[in-house]
Amino acid sequence: MSVSGDSLWITMREKGYSRREFMQFCSFAAATIGLGVQGKAEVAKAFEQKQRPPVVWLHFQECTCCSESFIRGSHPIVADILLDSISLDYTETLMAASGHQAEKSLADTIKKYAGKYILLVEGSVPTGADGVYCVIGGRSAAQILEEAAKDAAAIVAWGNCASYGCVQAAKPNPTGATPIQELVGKPVIQVPGCPPIADVMVGVITHILLFGRPPELDSRGRPKEFYSRRVHDTCYRRPYYDAGLFVESFDDDHARKGYCLYEMGCRGPVTYNACAVTRWNDHTSYPIQSGHPCIGCSEKGFWDDGPFYRHLPSFPGFPIEATADTIGAALGVGVAIGVGAHAITTNIRKRPVIQETQAESVSEPTDKKKVD
């Protein structure tokens, strides 16, 4: 565990990176956070001079896919420096220390760098049954979070778990999984996704390290840079959507041609993320590019909006096959039958009324003749 205080550049040099590699990283960082090539010098200067803030990365109820994603960022230095050696003063999955030593390190960091450290949280906090579903070192996730969040300079919620509760919070949410935003009384930077895109995570972290403040956020706490556009609006299959050329089953000819996956339940039109722009695995691909519809993993409650491979989700309270359309069509038929039945009873029961009204009629033409 490295000691915080040095600048990023010094730490990198100690690790054996060359000046050229450092500058490459600075270009990458500048581009990721939207500064452009001109921003490279600014980034380099900041990383040379600024002390890097200590970082605490907590893991609660999660699968560690956020960490897995993070270490696959397209620039190797990010994983190596930011995660491996840089000031990661506490993280359950990667730190060398264990047991009491690790717990002490966490407590020390929180105390020593109060108001300075960055808190990264991966996973949701189970609040059911007094938090017994997630206990680390004898303390519940909720207790650990409360302590760690109190004096944090910035809090980042990694992934859908920390942002919205993800699969653990899917109905009926047996452990009472709760997004961290609801537990800490402070603004939280939400970086949803299951997992979030590596370069998005790196971008958020870099921004905080560089400017000492969070990137610009939208009304739901997500960095605008990465979450202001729908996958659908940036998807390269979009022309097929507008042309009405759809894949109708996996492995059909249309799938082979790369048509739009809308009919296969693609959630691109209701999902805000940077997949189609940033892409994954060193900008190689993203789910839709490999032929799989978007499942909307960066959206709140996406597990409850299934089945994934169908445009319409199942209707709450009905069997899984029932969609709004089956129920609506049944309703329509029911109403039509009811109306038909009503028409019949009207003619039986309202006979006198109708006859009475009809009796008001006078035969007009014959009257006219008589007058003449």
Partner 1 sequence: MTPTSVSYRRIYVWELPVRAFHWINAAAITVLGLTGFIIGHPFSVAYTQEASFQYWFGTVRFIHFLAGYIFLINMLMRIYWGFVGNAYSNWKEFIPTSRSWIGDIKEVLKVDILQTSVHGPVHVGHNRLAGLIYFGTFWMFLFQALTGFALYAPMSRLFVGKLATWIVPILGGDQNVRHLHHTMLWFYVAFAIVHVYLVFYHDYVEGRGTTSSMVGGWKFEREDYLDKH
Q: Applying CB under 8 A, which residues contact partner 1?
A: 219-220, 229-230, 233, 239-246, 248, 254, 262-263, 267, 269-272, 296, 299-302, 305, 311-313, 315, 324-325, 327-329, 331-332, 335-336, 339, 342-343, 345-346, 349-350, 352-362
Three-state secondary structure call for residue 115: coil
The secondary element (H helix, E strand) that includes residue 178 is strand 177-178
Contacts with ligand SF4 by CB under 6 A: the residue count is 14
Q: How far is the CB of 108 from partner 1 (least distance, A)?
A: 39
CB of 316 to ligand SF4, least distance (A): 24
Q: Residue 61 CA to chain centroid, in angstroms? A: 16
Q: Does 266 bind ligand SF4 (CB under 6 A)?
A: yes
Binding-site member from 8, 141, 161, 288 for ligand SF4 (CB under 6 A): 288
Nearer CB in complex with ligand SF4: 110/231: 231
| Residue of 212, 269, 301, 306 that binds ligand SF4 (CB under 6 A) | 269
Query: Which of ligand SF4, partner 1, none has residue 357 at its interface (CB below 5 to 8 Å by kind)?
Result: partner 1
Shortest distance, position 235 Cβ to ligand SF4, whole Å = 3
Residue 188 vs 294, nearer CB to ligand SF4:
294
Structure tokens at 367: 């009257």
Q: How far is the CB of 128 from partner 1 (least distance, A)?
A: 21
What burial letters (b/e) apply to 52-80, b meaning 16+ CB within 10 Å?
bbbbbbbbbbbbbbbbebbbbbbbebbbb
What does the CA dihedral 93, 95, 96, 100 come to, rounded to 10 degrees? -90
**Does residue 297 touch ligand SF4 according to CB under 6 A?**
no
> Can you say whether residue 257 is alpha, beta or left, with left for phi > 0 and alpha for psi between -120 and 50 degrees?
alpha
Q: Which of 268, 227, 67, 230 is nearest to 161 (CA)?
A: 67
Q: CB 172 → partner 1: shortest distance, Å? A: 16
Site string for ligand SF4, 30-69 (x = CB under 6 A): ----------------------------------------
Give the CA count within 13 Å in the CB-facing half-sphere of 205: 32
Phi-psi region of 41 (alpha: psi -120 to 50; beta: other; left: phi over 0): alpha
In angstroms, how far apart are the furthest CA atoms of the chain? 121
Q: Which does 302 bind (CB under 5 to 8 A by kind): partner 1, ligand SF4, none?
A: partner 1
- Angstrom distance (rounded) from CA 279 to CA 73: 11
| Number of separate helices (H) and strands (E) present in the chain | 17, 9
* Best CA proximity match to 309, nearest among 248, 224, 371, 365: 248
How many CB atoms neighbour CB 291 within 10 A?
15
Which of 268, 272, 299, 302 is the binder for ligand SF4 (CB under 6 A)? 268
Q: What is the smallest separation between the CB atom of 231 and partner 1, expressed in angstroms? A: 11
DSSP string for residues in 130-174: GGTTSEETTEEHHHHHHHHHHT-SEEEEEHHHHHH-GGGGSTT-T
**Of these, 66, 191, 231, 275, which contacts ligand SF4 (CB under 6 A)?**
231
Give the one entry of partner 1, ligand SF4, none that residue 37 binds, where binding means its C-beta sits below a cut-off of 5 to 8 angstroms depending on kind: none
Q: Which does 319 bind (CB under 5 to 8 A by kind): ligand SF4, partner 1, none?
A: none
Q: How far is the CB of 247 from partner 1 (least distance, A)?
A: 10
Residue with tokens 């190689």: 284
- Give the shortest CB-230-to-ligand SF4 separation in angstroms: 8
Which residue number, 185 or 244, has a Cβ lying nearer to partner 1? 244
Q: Quick check: 262 binds ligand SF4 (CB under 6 A)?
A: yes
| CA dist., res. 310 & res. 251, Å (int) | 16
- Judged by beta carbon distances under 5 to 8 A according to partner kind, the member of partner 1, ligand SF4, none in contact with residue 235 is ligand SF4
Single residue of 294, 295, 303, 308 touching ligand SF4 by CB under 6 A:
294
Q: Could you list the residues that contact ligand SF4 (CB under 6 A)?
A: 231-232, 235, 237-238, 241, 260-262, 266, 268-269, 288, 294
